Structure 1
Amino acid sequence: MENNNSAFEEIRVHLAEIERKHDIRIIYAIESGSRAWGFASPDSDYDVRFIYVKHPDAYFNLGKAEDTLEYYPAPEMDMVGWDLGKYLKLIYKSNSVAFEWANSPIVYRKTDEWVQIAGLIEDYFNPKSSIYHYYGEGAHIFKANENNSTISYKSYLYILRVILAARYIKRHSKVPPMLFSDLVKDNLPPELKTSVTEILALKARIKEKDQEKRYTELDAFIREELPELKAYAESLAPGESKDITALNKIFFSAVIKDFRGLSMNLEER
């Protein structure tokens, strides 16, 4: 894949292959990971994620119901998809990864069905569970690197991204943007921006796993911020239970879209 245009075309070809092989419809496909966050390295993989609908027959099967597809067409590319039912359940639970997929700036496929879904999913966003998610992810990565004299800048940026996403939620009580640059604008203390700018420039030239020098000021910020975010999440009310009816209707409509001969009044369903 020599450039973005050729990569996009190759990914779209693979999406069509997946549809034919598994008898599904892909209603939304995006890039996740460092490329979507805006801090890819020269050797960064393509992390393609997609949402699909199976043929209706597959939903009326008492056997094991598969809700995840994995496809690895090349060493530098992985493609993982979730069944729409699984995705909507995760939205209902305010799963942060599900919201990130919805906000990716790199979109390979978007259908009218997805536009309908995207118009209502933020109604299910829960600040408490999302901040907990980002705190846990950041704490896990930092703990694994805390005592090392060097660190990969991929790890640094991953930790900072989730902290800034949580700070954004704390400030705005809504789904944070996906691009790291958008999170940095209003959520990173000004005195740290020079260090982060330097790391971003270096990461664009080095390999993903290269170990580099640490930044004392960033380590101090991370150590201070993580427990504060945890305490803030604990202080929040759980949030009201949401009505799942709208998600059920979208799921039902998507499943029966291509099911010929189905005789029922959809308005009464």
Structure 2
Amino acid sequence: MTTSLTFPAPLYDAARTHPYPLLFATVSGAHLYGFASPDSDWDLRGVHLLPATEVLGLHELRETIGNEQVIDGLELDLVTHDARKFMTLMLKPNGYVLEQLHSPLVVKTTPEHAELIALGRRCVTKYHAHHYLGFSAGQWKLLNREDPPRIKPLLYTFRTLLTGLHLMRTGEIEANLMVLNKNARLPYLDELIAQKRAGREKEPLRGDLAFYEAEFRRLTGELEEAREVTHLPAKVEAGVVEALSHLLVRLRMNDAG
């Protein structure tokens, strides 16, 4: 599941000094997607466990904790959810949380992380296609509002479409555009990725926007079709909900001692 990549020290420090125990912390964003620029920030995502005393008491619950900081020139964006909130998101057609859960770029892990991954595979439904269709459409609109347009939203557009297609066809989460393109074999993506990785986070787009629009619409149509013929279920089975609930109860009770 993990890679041999060595991460900058601030990522390990952020996981170690988090105010609550972490079930996992993984790298998301452009580094996960395979097209980080030298000046790209690091997106660290994970799950924390609120103590039973806070959950049962009158404290205002810190279900989501975010922290953006710059350390020695490195931009770090840390966002974690409490286990209950994260599990609730897992049960919705939310591609974000599944990508974070299945990210091979692991900074912090636990045995419960492995349990969540196994259950996460059983949370995938045909309606996850809506997440990727909506996200890609939003990125395409963003691209067309920019002057000049940047490579980043174009890569995000194609990354989400190809992730959605791969998910509908295989039931597996794959967020790395370079890996996805081994099957898609779209030569222009290799060129765009190379430009982004060698350039800046705001690297301008060079190329025929009309060509990319035709590809965007073609791949959108493929994803819509794949959603209709996929073998994936329409909803998460009840056994998965129960398994997640039992895991959450066990985590809270273990914390309570």
Check whether TM > 0.5. Answer: yes
TM-score (norm 2): 0.87
Q: 1:12 to 1:149 in 2, by over 3 A?
A: closer
Q: Which runs of 5+ in 2 are unaligned?
A: none
RMSD between aligned alpha carbons? 2.3
- Could you tell me which runs of 5 or more consecutive residues in structure 1 were left unpaired when the two chains were aligned: 261-269
Within 5 A, what are the aligned runs for 1:165-244? 165-172=163-170, 174-186=171-183, 188=184, 190=185, 192-193=186-187, 195-215=188-208, 216-230=210-224, 233=227, 239-243=234-238, 244=241
- Indicate yes or no: 2:8 matched with 1:11: no
CA distance in 2 between partners of 1:110 and 1:146 (Å): 39
Contact 1:29–1:110 (CA under 8 A) maintained in structure 2:
yes
Contact 2:125–2:236 (8 Å) recurs in 1: no
Deviations 1:119-142 (A, max 9, x none): 2221111122x1100000101111
8 A contact 1:87–1:98 mirrored in 2 = yes
2:21: which partner in 1? Answer: 25
Which stretch shows the higher mean deviation, 143-152 or 119-128?
A: 143-152
Q: Aligned residues: percent identity?
A: 24
Q: Given that residues 12 and 108 in structure 1 are in contact (C-alpha distance below 8 angstroms), is that contact kept between their aligned partners in structure 2?
A: yes
Give the match's secondary structure for 1:145: helix
State which drifts further: 101-110 or 55-64.
55-64
Q: Which amino acid aligns with 1:225?
A: L
Matched ranges for 1:84-163 at <5 A: 84-128=83-127, 130-146=128-144, 150-163=148-161
TM-score, length-normalised on structure 1? 0.83
1:66 shift after superposition? 2.5
SS in 1 for 2:21: strand
Q: Per-residue displacement from partner, 1:197-235 (whole Å, max 9, x unpaired)?
A: 111111112111122213443321102332453465478
Task: Give the equivalent residue in structure 2 for 1:41.
Answer: 37
| Alignment correspondent of 1:60 | 56
Residue 243 of structure 2 corresponds to residue 246 of structure 1: yes
Higher mean C-alpha displacement, 62-71 vs 227-236: 227-236
